[in-house]
Amino acid sequence: MATTDGGGVLRVLVAKVGLDGHDRGLRIVARILRDAGCEVIYAGLRQSTETITAMAMQEDVDIVGVSMHNGAHLTLAPAVVGALRLAGLDTPVLVGGIVPPADIPVLLAAGVAAVLGPGSSNDEVVATVRAAASRPRADRAGMRQAAD
Amino acid sequence: MPGQFPYTRGPYASMYRSRLWTMRQFAGFGTAEDTNGRFKELLRSGSDGLSTAFDMPTLLGRDSDDPLAKGEVGRAGVAIDTMADMATLFSGIDLAAVSTSMTINSPAAPIMAMYVGVADGMGVERSALSGTIQNDILKEYQAQKEFVFPPRPSVRLVTDVMRFATSELPRWHPVSISGYHIREAGSTAAQELAFTLANGFAYVEAACAAGLAVDQFAPRLSFFFNAHMDFFEEIAKYRAARRIWARWMRDHYGATDGRSLQLRFHSQTAGVSLTAQQPEVNLVRVAIEAMAAVLGGTQSLHTDSFDEALALPTEHAARLALRTQQVIAEETGVVHVADPLGGSWFLEELTDEMERQAEVIFAHLAEAGSGSMLEGTISGIEDGWFVSEIADAAYHFQSKVAQGEWIQVGVNGYVEGDDVAPSTLSVDPAVESQQLTTLAAVKQRRDDDAVRRCLTRITAEAADSSINLMPALIEAATHLVTVGESMRALESVFGLWYEGNVV
C-alpha cells in the first residue's frame, strides 16, 4: 500500500484543469494509483483553481495531480499552486501531460512538485507521487514561501 | 472491384490514378490575423484547401473575455469571438475558390453561421461554398469531451446544420463523422470502426427524422479515421468501413444513390503513437502510418509533426510532415494501383474480422436502442458505456507497456542514445490581450438593441425543435453577437451536460 509518513493511505486528487478534454492520461494515472493502493478522488473534466482548492480541502488530500494538453500549463499550473497556498494548503501539485522540456524548470520554480510527461512508466508515476507526498513538512513550508 | 458495391476496395475505380488524396494540414494559432497570414502562405505554396484549428475557448463556446478562457486564448488554435474575427480570418481569400475545413463541434452551428455571414458579406454565392464542418457531437461525449449541451438538443443542432446545408450549401460537407478522437482516447481499431459507423447511422436516423430523404444528404457525409501503427489492421479497418457503410446504407436505410453508399474519409496519423522520447523517431512512425492510410484508400490525409508529444508543431516539423506525404505520392509508386493489397489472404481475413467485431458492437447498440442506432448511441452515452469501454482499452494497452509485452521504441525499449530535445513552438502571451482588445472594440461598436433582439429570437426558436436555428444564428452573427452569447442563449433552453466521474 502507498502510505504517507503518518502511515495512512495516500489520498490523491486528480483533475483536468481548464477547458481541455484530453482525459486518457488522467484516467490511466487514476487507475495506476488506485492499483498501487492510493485513494483516488477523480474530479474529472473542466475544473477551476477554486473547485480544485475546495476539493483538496474537503477531501484532505496528500497530493493534487492536474493534467494539461492544451499549451495553457504556464498559466494554469502556477494558478493551481497559488490558489492552494492562498487557502493555506501546502499540498504538493504534480503536472501531467504535454509540457515542452523548456517549460519544466519554469513550472518547478512556480512551485509545481514534479512534471510527468508522455511515456512515463507506471512505476515512475507511483514513485513520483510517493516522493512528492513524503517530502518533509518543513520542506513544503519552504515551497509555500517560494510560491508566495 | 474498386468503385463497385460494396466498395471494399475503394469508392472509385481509378482511385489515385485520376485524383491524388488531398494533403490537408491542420493549422491555426493566435489571433485571426495571425492565422490569416498562415492561410495565405499555404495558398501561395500551392495548397488548395484550408483547415482551421480553433482555440479551446472557441471550441467550448466561450468568448475570449470569459473567465474560463484565461490562459487558453489563441493557444491551441485561433480565437474566434465574433463574425468580425471570422472576416479577418478569411480576409483576402476567395471563398468560392478554396475549400475550407473547420474542426469544431459544440458551437458548429454558430460558427457555420459566421462563415456564411462572411461569405454573404463578400458577395460569394452560398451555393459556391465548399468545405467541411466537423459537427460530430456524438464522439465528443464518447471521447474528445468538448461537449456543452446534453446529447438530444446537440443532435438537433447537428441536423439543423445538415438541413441548412442540404437546401443552401450543395457543395458543403455538414458532418465529418470522426473516429480519430475515439482511437486517440484509447479505443481499439475495431471499436474506432464500430463506434464511428454507429454514430454515422445515428446521424442518418436523426436527419431522416428531421424530414430529410436519405439520398438528399448521405452523399455529403464524410468520415475521419485514425492512421495508427498496426499496419495491416489499419488497412483492414478502412476496407471494412467502406463495406459496412455501403451495406447498411442500402439494406437498413434504403439509400439508392451510389454516392450515398460510398464511404469517403479523411485520415490523420496517430498523435498518441508519438513519443516525447527520441522524438525524431516519430518521423518514421508517421511515414508508416501515412502509408497505411494511402494503401487503405484515404481521400485526404494529415500527417502529424514529429514534435507533437512535446508542443504545438514548429514550421520546420510541419514541413517535414507534409514532405512525408509528398514522398509517398511522388517516389514510391503506390499511387498507380487501387487497393494494391486486396486479395491477400491475410488482409482479406483481417477485413472480415474487423467487420465481424463491428457487427457485434452494432448488435449491442441496436438492442440498447430497441432497434434504433440513434437511441442506442444516446443510451451508451448517458450510461457511460462508451467512456468505460474506451478507458478499459486504454488501460489494457498501458498495462501491456508496463509489463513489457508491448515495446514502444525509446520508451520501454531501446532507450539509450541521443535524446536531444528539439526547439519547440511558443505562442506569444500577448495574443490574449490583443484578442481582448479586439473583442472590446467590437462590443463597443455594435448595435446593442439588435444584439438583444437576436438573442431573444435564438432562445425562442431553440424551444421549438421544428424550427431550424440556422437563420436566427446567421442573423445574430451579422449583428456581431459573440459565439459565447449565442451559446449561452441556447444553454438557457438546452441546459448543460456533465460527465459522470467513473474511472
Separation of alpha carbons B77 and B90, rounded Å: 15
List all residues of chain B from 75 to 94 with a beta carbon under 8 Å from chain A: 75-76
pTM: 0.93
Q: Are B246 and B263 in contact (CB under 8 A)?
A: yes
* Residue A118 contacts B, CB cutoff 8 Å: yes
For A29, nearest residue in chain B (alpha carbons) = B395
Residue of B433, B491, B493, B502 whose CA lies nearest to B147: B491
B480 falls within a domain? no
The H or E element spanning position B226 is strand B222-227
Q: Each residue of B14-53: pLDDT tens digit?
A: 999 999 998 887 777 789 999 999 889 888 877 768 889 9
* Residue B415 contacts A, CB cutoff 8 Å: no
* Residue A27 contacts B, CB cutoff 8 Å: yes
Number of structural domains in chain B: 1
B424 falls within a domain? no
Could A40 and B56 be called an inter-chain contact, meaning their C-beta atoms sit closer than 8 Å? no
Q: Each residue of B440-484: pLDDT tens digit?
A: 999 999 999 999 999 999 999 999 999 999 999 999 999 999 999
Q: Are B365 and B43 in contact (CB under 8 A)?
A: no
Helix axes B470-478, B448-462, angle to 10 degrees: 170
For B72, nearest residue in chain A (alpha carbons) = A72
Q: Are B218 and B262 in contact (CB under 8 A)?
A: no
DSSP B37-94: HHHHHHHHTT--EEEEEBPHHHHTT--TTSGGGTTTTTTSSB---SHHHHHHHTTT--
- Give B30's DSSP letter: B
Amino acid at B2: P
Domain limits, chain A: 11-147
Separation of alpha carbons B210 and B157, rounded Å: 11
SS percent in chain B: helix, strand, coil, step 5: 55, 10, 40
Q: Over 90: is that where the pLDDT of A101 sits? A: no
Q: Provide φ and ψ at B346, rounded to 5°.
A: -60, -50
- CATH architecture observed for domain A11-147: 3-Layer(aba) Sandwich (3.40)
Contacts of B274 in chain A (CB under 8 A): 118
Contacts of B394 in chain A (CB under 8 A): 24, 27-28
* Residue B4 contacts A, CB cutoff 8 Å: no
CA B311 to centroid of chain Cα atoms: 20
Separation of alpha carbons A139 and A144, rounded Å: 9
Exposure of B178 in the CB half-sphere (CA atoms within 13 A): 26
Measured from the Cβ of residue B12, the count of other Cβ atoms closer than 10 Å reads: 18
Residue of B471, B472, B443 whose CA lies nearest to B455: B472
Q: Each residue of B59-90: pLDDT tens digit?
A: 999 999 999 898 889 988 999 999 999 999 99
Q: Over 50: is that where the pLDDT of A138 sits? A: no
* Residue A18 contacts B, CB cutoff 8 Å: yes
What pLDDT is stored for residue A144 in this prediction?
42
Q: Are A77 and A109 in contact (CB under 8 A)?
A: no
3-state secondary structure of B313: coil
pLDDT level of residue A148 (50, 70, 90 thresholds): very low
Q: What is the 3-state secondary structure (H, E, C) of A31-68?
A: HHHHHCCCEEEEEEEEECHHHHHHHHHHCCCCEEEEEE
Q: In this structure, what CATH number is given to the domain that contains residue B94?
A: 3.20.20.240
More confident residue, B233 or A101: B233
Amino acid at B71: G
- Give B413's DSSP letter: B
* Residue A23 contacts B, CB cutoff 8 Å: yes
Could A119 and B71 be called an inter-chain contact, meaning their C-beta atoms sit closer than 8 Å? no
Q: Report, as an integer, the average pLDDT of B431-438.
A: 96
Separation of alpha carbons B496 and B413, rounded Å: 45
List all residues of chain B from 207 to 266 with a beta carbon under 8 Å from chain A: none
* Facing A42 at nearest CB: one of B310, B427, B503: B503
What pLDDT is stored for residue B87 in this prediction?
98
What pLDDT is stored for residue A136 in this prediction?
56
Global ipTM: 0.85
Separation of alpha carbons B258 and B139, rounded Å: 27
Q: Are B306 and B320 in contact (CB under 8 A)?
A: yes
E-assigned strands of B85-191? 99-103, 130-133, 172-173, 176-178
Judged by average pLDDT, the poorest of A131-135, B23-27, B124-128, B454-458 is B23-27
* Residue B388 contacts A, CB cutoff 8 Å: no
* Residue B146 contacts A, CB cutoff 8 Å: yes
* Facing B411 at nearest CB: one of A43, A79, A119: A119
Domain of B183 in residue numbering reads as 15-402
DSSP B329-365: HHHS-GGGSSSTTTT-HHHHHHHHHHHHHHHHHHHHH
In total, chain A counts a number of residues equal to 148
B409 falls within a domain? no
How far away is chain B from the Cα of A44, in angstroms, using its nearest Cα? 6
